[in-house]
Chain A
Amino acid sequence: MNFDIKPTMDARQAAETVFREESGKIIASLIRLSGSFDKAEDASQEAFASALLSWPKTGIPANPAAWMMTTAHRKLIDQVRREHTARDKEDLVRYEIEAFAPSSKPEIESETMHFPDERLRLIFTCCHPALNQEGQVALTLRTLGGLSTPEIAKAFLLPEPTLAQRLARAKRKIQEAHISYEVPPPERLPERLASVQAVIYLIFNEGYVAASGNQLIRTDLCAEAIRLARVLRDLMSDEAENLGLLALMLLHDSRRAARVRDGKLVTLEDQDRSLWNQSQIAEGISLVEKALMLGPVGPYQLQAAIAALHGEARTAEETDWKQIKELYERLLDVNPSPVVALNHAVAVAMCDGFADGLKNMDALGASGELDRYYLYHAARADLLRRLKRSAEAAEAYHKALAIVTNQIEREFLQDRLQQVERPVRQN
C-alpha cells in the first residue's frame, strides 16, 4: 500500500508559488486586454483554481508560469464570450480578445506564446496621484503583489470590509475618471515615478515600524515591498532612484533580526551586528554605488548611502559619522524637511559632540513643527541623557511617551526614562 500524498502537496505548493510570483504579470496583461481590473482578477483567480485542481492529477507542467498565464487568458476569453452571448453586443473588448485569441486550442504544455510584460502600466495606474494613498497601497498589493484582500487587511490590522471598500473605490475611480492604463510620457514621468516609489516605501515602512499595535516589524509587508522594488528596478533599471529605493529597503531590512531582542527594541548602537544580514548589506551597498554612478542623485540614494555606511561599520564606534553628517546635509538640500534636519542634528551630535547636536536640535524645535513628532522628543531626551542632564532628559522622555503609538517603542522609552529617573530618586 502506498499512501504517499506528497506529489499532491508539491503540486499544490507549486501552484501557489507560481501564482504568487506570476499573478502581477497575469493581472497586468489581462487588464490591458479587458480594460477591467475586476475581470482580470476573476480570470486570474480562475486560472489559479484550475491549477490547484489539475496539477495534482496531471503533474506540474513543464513551464508552469506559461501555463498559468495562458490559462488565465483563456478564462478571460471565456468570461467575455459568456457575457457577449448574453448581451450579444459588439465592443472593443471582444474585438481585442478575438484578435488575440488562438483560433484553435493548442496544448497548453507546449505553449510558447509570448505575453509582453505590462506590469509597468499597472504600477503607474495603481499609484496614480489622483488616487488617495490608502487606495494606491491596497491596489498595488492586491494586483501587483497578488495578495488577497484578507491578507492585506490582516497586514494593516484593518477589517476586511474596509479594505474591500478601498479597493472598490480606487478601481471605480480609475474606470470612471478615466485614468489611463499606460506608462506616463517623459514630461510626466518624474512626478509619477515619485508617486510609485512613495507607495512602495510606504508599504515597507508600514511593515518595518508598525504605526500601532504591539508587533514592531511585519516582515510580510517588508518582503513584499522589496519584491515590488525589485520589479520596478527590473522594469526601469536606468532610473537611479529605483536602485536607491531598493538599496535603502534592503539595508534597513538587513538589520531586522537585530532590532528586537526578547520583545524589546534595540537601538542601532546596541545591536548585535553579527545578526545583520550580510548578503542584503552587500547587495544594498553595490546598488547604492551603481545608483550614484548612474545619477542624478536623489533622496532614496542618499538615505541608502547613509544606511550603507551604518551597514559597513563592524562596531558602533567604527561608524563614519562625518560622512553621514555630510550626506544628511546633501539630503537637506533636496528634501529640507524637519525630520531630515532632526537626523542631521543626531549626526552632528555623534560627530562634533552631544552639546553641538543638542544646540542644533533645540534650534529645530523652536518652530514647534516637531512637537507632535515623538522621535524629536526621544532624540532630544537621548542627547540630554548622554550629557547627564537627567531631569531634562526625563522631561523629554515624558513628552515622547505622551505621543508614541507603537507598544514596543513605548516600552523602550519607558526603560530609558527609568534609567534617567533612577539617579534623581537616589539624591
Chain B
Amino acid sequence: MRYMFLIYSVESADATPEALQAVAQRHRQVMDEAAAHGVMEAAEPLKPTITATTLRMKEGDAMLVDGPFAETKEQLAGYYILRCKDLDEAIDWAKKIPTGCKGGEGCVEIRPLHDELRH
C-alpha cells in the first residue's frame, strides 16, 4: 500500500546554508534507503510558502490568495510517497524523515493513498 508522508515544519528565514545542507543530506540518506528497499515512489521538497498561491472556488469564481491555504506555525514543506506493508511500517519510515530545517521540530502526517484508483 502507498502512503504519503506530508512534512510540516516551521519555516525559518534564519537557517544557515550549512544547516539547510545538513537537512538535505539527511533527506538524501532516507531516499537512498527507501530506494534500496525498493519502496520509493516519490519525494520532493517544496519552496517556502512565500511562493505559494491559493485558489479558492466560490460560486463558480476563482479567488486567488497570495499565500498558503492556512497561516499556521508549521507549513507543508515537502512530501514522500513510499510503498509500505502496513501502517506500522509507514510509521517506522516516518520516524526517519527529518522534519525541520534544523532537523528536529515539526511533524509528519501519514496518509494512505487510494491504491485502487491508480491506473
* Residues of A in contact with B (beta carbons under 8 Å apart): 128, 130, 176-180, 184, 188
Task: Give B6 Cβ to nearest chain A Cβ, in Å.
Answer: 14
Interface residues in B60-89 by Cβ distance below 8 A to A read: 84-88
Q: Are A178 and B86 in contact (CB under 8 A)?
A: yes
Chain A contacts for B110, CB-based, 8 A: 177
Q: Are B87 and A188 in contact (CB under 8 A)?
A: no
Q: Are B112 and A180 in contact (CB under 8 A)?
A: no
Q: Are B112 and A184 in contact (CB under 8 A)?
A: no
CA distance A178 to B85 in the complex (A): 8
Chain B contacts for A128, CB-based, 8 A: 87
B91 interface contact, C-beta 8 A: yes
22 A-B pairs with C-beta separation under 8 A: A128-B87, A130-B87, A130-B91, A176-B112, A177-B87, A177-B110, A177-B112, A178-B1, A178-B84, A178-B85, A178-B86, A178-B87, A178-B112, A179-B86, A179-B87, A179-B88, A180-B85, A180-B86, A180-B87, A180-B88, A184-B88, A188-B88
CA distance A195 to B22 in the complex (A): 35
CA distance A177 to B91 in the complex (A): 11
Task: Give B73 Cβ to nearest chain A Cβ, in Å.
Answer: 22
Interface residues in B1-47 by Cβ distance below 8 A to A read: 1
- What residue in chain B is nearest A179 (Cβ atoms)? B87
CA distance A21 to B97 in the complex (A): 45
* Residues of B in contact with A (beta carbons under 8 Å apart): 1, 84-88, 91, 110, 112
CA distance A184 to B110 in the complex (A): 19
Chain B contacts for A176, CB-based, 8 A: 112
Q: Which 7 A-B pairs have the closest CB atoms?
A: A180-B86, A178-B86, A179-B87, A178-B1, A177-B112, A177-B87, A178-B87
Chain A contacts for B91, CB-based, 8 A: 130
CA distance A277 to B108 in the complex (A): 49
Task: Give A89 Cβ to nearest chain B Cβ, in Å.
Answer: 14
Task: Give B112 Cβ to nearest chain A Cβ, in Å.
Answer: 5
* A128, A130, A177, A178, most chain B CB atoms within 10 A: A178
Chain A contacts for B112, CB-based, 8 A: 176-178
Chain B contacts for A180, CB-based, 8 A: 85-88
Task: Give A345 Cβ to nearest chain B Cβ, in Å.
Answer: 35
CA distance A128 to B86 in the complex (A): 12
Task: Give A92 Cβ to nearest chain B Cβ, in Å.
Answer: 14
Chain A contacts for B86, CB-based, 8 A: 178-180
Task: Give A124 Cβ to nearest chain B Cβ, in Å.
Answer: 10
Chain A contacts for B85, CB-based, 8 A: 178, 180
Task: Give A200 Cβ to nearest chain B Cβ, in Å.
Answer: 21
Chain B contacts for A178, CB-based, 8 A: 1, 84-87, 112
CA distance A176 to B84 in the complex (A): 13
CA distance A184 to B85 in the complex (A): 13
Task: Give B4 Cβ to nearest chain A Cβ, in Å.
Answer: 12
* B85, B86, B88, B112, most chain A CB atoms within 10 A: B88
CA distance A179 to B84 in the complex (A): 11
CA distance A178 to B1 in the complex (A): 8
Chain B contacts for A179, CB-based, 8 A: 86-88
- What residue in chain B is nearest A173 (Cβ atoms)? B87
Chain B contacts for A130, CB-based, 8 A: 87, 91
- What residue in chain A is nearest B1 (Cβ atoms)? A178
CA distance A179 to B85 in the complex (A): 9
Task: Give B18 Cβ to nearest chain A Cβ, in Å.
Answer: 34
Task: Give B42 Cβ to nearest chain A Cβ, in Å.
Answer: 19
Known: A178-B86, A180-B85. 14 other contacts (CB 8 A): A130-B91, A176-B112, A177-B87, A177-B110, A177-B112, A178-B1, A178-B85, A178-B87, A178-B112, A179-B87, A180-B87, A180-B88, A184-B88, A188-B88
- What residue in chain A is nearest B89 (Cβ atoms)? A180
Chain A contacts for B88, CB-based, 8 A: 179-180, 184, 188
Task: Give B76 Cβ to nearest chain A Cβ, in Å.
Answer: 20
Task: Give B109 Cβ to nearest chain A Cβ, in Å.
Answer: 12
CA distance A349 to B85 in the complex (A): 54
* A130, A176, A177, A180, most chain B CB atoms within 10 A: A177
- What residue in chain A is nearest B114 (Cβ atoms)? A176
Task: Give B81 Cβ to nearest chain A Cβ, in Å.
Answer: 15
